Amino acid sequence: MYRIDKSAEAAYQALVRLLPQITSIFVTPYQFAPDYETRLKGSTRAKKILQRARYRRNKYGLPFWDAVILEAMTTGPIEDPVLDGALYHQSLREVLLEVSSGDVLGPGIVATVEKARIPYPWAVLSKVLTNDGAEHHVSMLDFRCSISESNLVSLQRAAERLLDCPWVLIQSERSYHLLGASLLTDRELAKFFGKAILLGPLVDRNYIAHQLINGSAALRILNLAGKTGLKTRVTTFPPNAWNDLS
């Protein structure tokens, strides 16, 4: 295990080098879900619950919808707008851009997506195509803990227990994301997510729930062009996988 300061795009290039059987990865346009106020509209009580839930989240570091449900349970039966808001799911767009491994290693994912005129934000999916024509997934997971050296060490230890393959931790503006160099079936991806949920506050459980519904994990890209916001921090990818990568 060692530290490295490479772009997230370089991590995908290294991934393709480690798994040469991958012939394509997939990218899809991403649309933000409606804000919480919109999801909880129609109820004065729900709006008050929302205000108190924000206080719980900020004070105790709770996931937002955990705070909402806990607050709602203290004030009587949970109203429909709260349940509907918590259960809201926005499916991934059906439009997929197939990015060949040659394009991943050549012009790169960002340049290929921009050439296809897909606007930001977009998402790189866990789904990949292999040289036998089959679809698999690579291991992808969002964490929800804040950026700190202590949390980074914790996530290293967690990654070692979740995966038995090379992996990288990618740092974004607020937290970390795990990318593993293994090919998973749909069932194996679900099992990986189930195991990750047991880590509770370390992982983004809402992310996992939505990805299970979608049947594919996704790494959301807000704007990478000319920026260095997403960086690999710690990796077990072997050094040769990073040769000549930016």
Say yes or no to pLDDT of 236 above 70: yes
Q: What is the average pLDDT across 238-246?
A: 78
Q: What is the average pLDDT across 25-40?
A: 78
What Cα–Cα distance (Å) separates residue 194 from each residue in 179, 197, 201, 202? 16, 5, 14, 14
With a CB cutoff of 8 Å and minimum separation 6, the contacts of 236 are 1, 166, 167, 168
Residue entry with tokens 């839930």: 53
With a CB cutoff of 8 Å and minimum separation 6, the contacts of 194 are none
Give the torsion sign (CA, 13, 19, 23, 27): negative
Domain ranges (residues) in the chain: 2-31+93-242, 36-86
Say yes or no to pLDDT of 246 above 70: no
Residue entry with tokens 């970390």: 176
Tokens of 59: 């004070």
Q: What is the pLDDT of residue 150?
A: 94
Query: Using one digit for the tens of pLDDT, what is the confidence trace for 65-113?
Result: 899 999 999 988 988 888 888 898 888 777 789 999 999 999 999 899 9
Say yes or no to pLDDT of 228 above 50: no
Say yes or no to pLDDT of 41 above 80: no
Residue scoring higher pLDDT (44 or 200): 200
One-letter amino acid of 207: Y
Closest to 233 measured CA to CA, from 107, 138, 148:
148
Cβ burial of 24 (10 Å; 0-12, 13-18, 19+) is buried
| 3 state SS of 94 | coil
- For the ranges 52-61, 79-88, 130-139, the one whose mean pLDDT is highest: 130-139
Closest to 32 measured CA to CA, from 73, 82, 90, 87:
90
**Rounded-to-integer distance, Cα 182 and Cα 69, Å:** 36
Q: What is the pLDDT of residue 231?
A: 78
Query: Using one digit for the tens of pLDDT, what is the confidence trace for 157-170?
Result: 999 999 999 999 99
Pairing of strands 218-221, 97-100: unpaired
